[in-house]
């Protein structure tokens, strides 16, 4: 009976994963279906605005529930840490969030009361425990552990690595990037292929500096990552290093099981790159499309791939625009839609069913407002496969909530609906 239950649950998981979960989440997370109830927004504090601290803000996302389109709770973490990215543990009960400046990690309980997350642990010794890595960026759930990419190192060099913590918040090991691959950024897994792909941004001296000053400094502009690394995920061993000039950022693996490729993009060159498996089992990396006018450096910052692998959303920070590409032929992306979201735009996240798309405004505290107005918002749109239609927006400045950056989704009653049933993961 237990075996049949596990098999049935795993089959349901696979059947729902193509349309049910926010598309850039780890394959090791349990999947949820239906309308998201909450959006957890990780925000950067602004001095003199509210309490000035970084905070986790919970926004109502279900039009059938009270608080729709409004901030219904917030938890400050004390101080400004350059709030950036985060992710759920593999049981989806905790949300880990990091600060690029102080390298502190804040762990929230999101299971007990999903509408009002509670800060339950703060990791303050990340740099020491990891052997000198700073800037925890991607938090990626694997069975029983959290995989964390580091952006740079405490000595200011490009040396960095990938870090593993257990779900209790204890350091397990540090895996250093191979020689010839400086800096770090994103890291995501294709469980079917046993492949991990990591990318590279820039060091702390650059990302904590005002963008206007940075781009005028030729020497500083040389200190950006130009590589992506393909790993044997189980062995945690690097297999190939790809040259990708211009700071490759977000990694988005194709979700359909027979699609053996991933997309990433270069921020400074404004290009979409395809990393695809060849017949011999190795991979190749190819630039396949420009986003906007690369000569104007619109700063390509985020990607979101639809669950059917058909559309790729690409947001460019400095012109506040999202462009949608038809990537049905992954080697020949074709732009099919464009919309200006605001004076600046950063993150783009799709709902589990693909019918809603959300945007936030903040990139980095010292980079926001570079193009003019420093607007701070969360905006929600409906997506019908052809165009975006506004649903709601929240002015984070007016609400004294800070700079809106990362989004994660929550659902009321997610755990009570499952009771004490079997937990299913894509096996490592």
Q: Band of the pLDDT at 211, cuts 50, 70, 90?
A: very high
Residue with token string 């959290």: 146
Asked if 303 contacts 312 with a C-beta cutoff of 8 angstroms, the reply is yes
- Name which residue leads in pLDDT, 152 or 419: 152
Each residue's pLDDT tens digit, 301-352: 999 999 899 999 999 999 999 999 999 999 999 999 999 999 999 999 998 7
Q: Band of the pLDDT at 415, cuts 50, 70, 90?
A: low
Q: Is 55 exposed, middle or buried (0-12, 13-18, 19+ CB in 10 A)?
A: buried
- Has this prediction a pTM greater than 0.85? yes
Instruction: Write down the pLDDT at residue 420.
Output: 38
Q: Which residues pair with 395 in a beta bridge?
A: 377
Domain spans of the chain? 2-410
Instruction: Write down the pLDDT at residue 74.
Output: 98
In eight-state DSSP terms, residue 224 is: B
Instruction: Write down the pLDDT at residue 207.
Output: 96
Does pLDDT of 62 surpass 90? Answer: yes
Instruction: Write down the pLDDT at residue 422.
Output: 36
**Rounded mean pLDDT, 174-192:** 97
Does pLDDT of 225 surpass 60? Answer: yes
**Rounded mean pLDDT, 181-198:** 97
Each residue's pLDDT tens digit, 239-254: 999 999 999 999 999 9
Q: Comparing C-alpha atoms, which of 292, 285, 295, 283 is closest to residue 314?
A: 292
Each residue's pLDDT tens digit, 6-23: 333 333 333 333 333 467
Does pLDDT of 265 surpass 50? Answer: yes
What mean pLDDT, rounded, does the chain reach? 91
Residues 6+ apart with CB under 8 A from 424: 6, 9, 10, 13, 30
Instruction: Write down the pLDDT at residue 282.
Output: 98
Distances (CA, A) of 314 to 133, 251, 280: 29, 12, 31
Instruction: Write down the pLDDT at residue 302.
Output: 97
Instruction: Write down the pLDDT at residue 371.
Output: 85
**Rounded mean pLDDT, 164-175:** 98
Does pLDDT of 426 surpass 50? Answer: no
Distances (CA, A) of 340 to 248, 324, 344, 356, 411: 23, 12, 9, 17, 29
Instruction: Write down the pLDDT at residue 12.
Output: 35
CATH of domain 2-410: 2.130.10.10
**Rounded mean pLDDT, 196-210:** 96
The Cα–Cα gap between 46 and 397 comes to 9
Instruction: Write down the pLDDT at residue 79.
Output: 97
Each residue's pLDDT tens digit, 12-54: 333 333 333 467 889 998 766 678 999 999 999 999 999 999 9
**Rounded mean pLDDT, 385-397:** 98
**Rounded mean pLDDT, 389-416:** 92
């Amino acid at each position: 009976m237990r075996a049949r239950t596990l098999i049935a649950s795993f089959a349901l998981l696979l059947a729902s994963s193509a349309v049910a979960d926010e598309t850039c989440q780890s394959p090791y997370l349990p999947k949820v279906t239906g309308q998201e109830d909450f959006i957890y927004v990780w925000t950067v504090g602004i001095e003199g605005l509210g309490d000035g601290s970084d905070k986790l803000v919970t926004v109502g996302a279900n039009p059938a529930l009270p608080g729709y389109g409004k901030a219904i709770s917030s938890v400050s973490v004390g101080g400004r840490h350059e709030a950036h990215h985060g992710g759920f543990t593999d049981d989806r009960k905790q949300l880990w969030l990091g600060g690029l400046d102080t390298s502190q990690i804040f762990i929230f309980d999101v299971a007990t009361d999903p509408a009002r997350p509670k800060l339950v642990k703060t990791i303050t010794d990340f740099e020491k425990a990891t052997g000198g890595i700073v800037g925890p960026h991607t938090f990626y759930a694997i069975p029983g552990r959290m995989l964390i990419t580091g952006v740079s190192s405490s000595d200011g060099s490009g040396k960095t690595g990938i870090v593993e913590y257990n779900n209790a918040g204890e350091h397990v090991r540090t895996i250093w990037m191979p020689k010839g691959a400086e800096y770090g950024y994103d890291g995501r897994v294709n469980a079917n292929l046993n492949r991990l792909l990591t990318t590279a941004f820039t060091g702390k001296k650059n990302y904590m500096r005002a963008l206007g000053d940075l781009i005028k400094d030729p020497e500083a502009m040389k200190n950006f990552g130009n590589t992506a690394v393909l790993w044997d995920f189980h062995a945690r061993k690097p297999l190939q290093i790809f040259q990708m000039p211009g700071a490759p950022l977000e990694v988005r693996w194709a979700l359909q099981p027979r699609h053996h490729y991933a997309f990433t993009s270069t921020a400074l060159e404004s290009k979409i790159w395809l990393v695809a498996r060849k017949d011999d089992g190795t991979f190749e990396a190819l630039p396949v499309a420009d986003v906007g006018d690369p000569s104007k450096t619109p700063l390509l910052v985020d990607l979101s791939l639809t669950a059917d692998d058909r559309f790729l959303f690409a947001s460019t920070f400095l012109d506040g625009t999202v462009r949608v590409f038809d990537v049905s032929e992954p080697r020949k992306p074709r732009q099919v839609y464009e919309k200006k979201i605001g004076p600046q735009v950063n993150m783009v996240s799709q709902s589990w069913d693909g019918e809603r798309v959300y945007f936030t405004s903040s990139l980095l505290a010292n980079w926001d407002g570079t193009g003019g107005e420093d607007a701070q918002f969360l905006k929600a749109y409906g997506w019908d496969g052809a165009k975006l239609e506004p649903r709601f927006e929240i002015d984070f400045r007016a609400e004294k909530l800070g700079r809106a950056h990362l989004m994660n989704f929550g659902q009321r009653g997610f755990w009570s609906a499952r009771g004490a049933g079997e937990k299913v993961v894509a096996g490592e």
